[in-house]
Structure 1
Amino acid sequence: MFLGTYAPKLDEKGRVILPAKFRDELSPGIVMTRGQENCLYVFTTREFEAFAEKIGQAPLTDKSARSYARMTLSGASAEMPDKQNRVTIPANLRSYAGLDRDLTVIGAGTRVEIWDSAAWDVYLAEQETSFADTSEEVIPGLI
């Protein structure tokens, strides 16, 4: 399970060093793709395969499902961390997420998310009030 928030830097070649706490799970290989809210989703290869299988179960007749599948799968890139635990973020994904030098990498349970740090700060500030004001069951059985 991926947890926590980290602040690595993107190097001049478009690589990021994976947080130490994520390395064991991610070292066999990852798949990264477009995420929602203009971040990147990073999955273990096994978790991405399960995710893609669920996407494939959506009806082709549903326009929203087709669009979601296209956005997710067409942006996907299989990557392998190097010996220094760096992974290259493809240029199209860096552009999609607006990644510059300062990144925020968060653990989101079954996936990792990579955000431009400024975008993450804005998102976090926007979400804090609704998070604090949650008074009904958003996730079944949680509250």
Structure 2
Amino acid sequence: MNETSAALFGSAVPFLGTYTPRLDDKGRLILPAKFRGQLAPGLVMTRGQERCLFLLPIDEFRRMHDQLRQAPVTSKQARDYLRVFLSGASDELPDKQGRISIPPMLRRYAGLDRDVAVIGAGTRVEIWDLQAWESYLEEQESGYADTTEEVFPNGPF
């Protein structure tokens, strides 16, 4: 965490920005330097929506898991979500170089080969195939301005 981030956000600094590292031949990823401090104590990697991967700091994973546990077991939708979310989860500890290994099953799910986009998404980090991310972003940009009033009913600016 740099001084500017600490001044703006305190200890709960959101993950911000887009980075384009490459996976090595063993399926390892060097985490962006800005994300390493928050992920150094450990993280949970799992399937995200739109065929990306979520990297969740341990505290955020616990918070999400606690919410999932409150869903009624009688809800098929809740059971399905829980199964998909947790069955692909892998707890990881970055090495001294800030690298994590992405399990083959998760690389296949997200279509990761070599070039990836690592994006800050607030409380989590997402890993995308770079081409898939660029296509997604291009598709979403046209609607971005149109949704401002839905996301910020009182106006953000």
Q: TM-score range by the shorter chain?
A: over 0.9
Report the AA paired with residue 39 of structure 1. C
Indicate the residue corresponding to 2:75 in structure 1. Answer: 62
SS at match of 1:127: helix
Aligned counterparts of 1:57 and 1:139: Cα–Cα separation in 2: 28
SS at match of 1:104: strand
Give 5+ residue unaligned stretches, structure 2: 1-13
Greater displacement, 128-137 / 105-114 = 128-137
Q: Which runs of 4+ in 1 moved over 3 A?
A: 139-143
Aligned identity (percent) is 62
Select which of 96, 100, 116 maps to 1:83: 96
Indicate the residue corresponding to 1:4 in structure 2. Answer: 17
1:20 aligns to 2:33 (yes or no): yes
Aligned counterparts of 1:86 and 1:4: Cα–Cα separation in 2: 18
1:44 aligns to 2:61 (yes or no): no
Report the AA paired with residue 72 of structure 1. F
Aligned counterparts of 2:140 and 2:40: Cα–Cα separation in 1: 32
Select which of 146, 149, 157 maps to 1:133: 146
How far did 1:135 drift?
5.3
Aligned residue pairs, count = 143
Aligned counterparts of 2:137 and 2:155: Cα–Cα separation in 1: 21
Give 5+ residue unaligned stretches, structure 1: none
Report the AA paired with residue 24 of structure 2. D
TM-score, structure 2 as length reference: 0.87
RMSD (Å), alpha carbons: 1.3
Q: Does structure 1 retain, via aligned residues, the 8 Å contact 2:148–2:155?
A: no
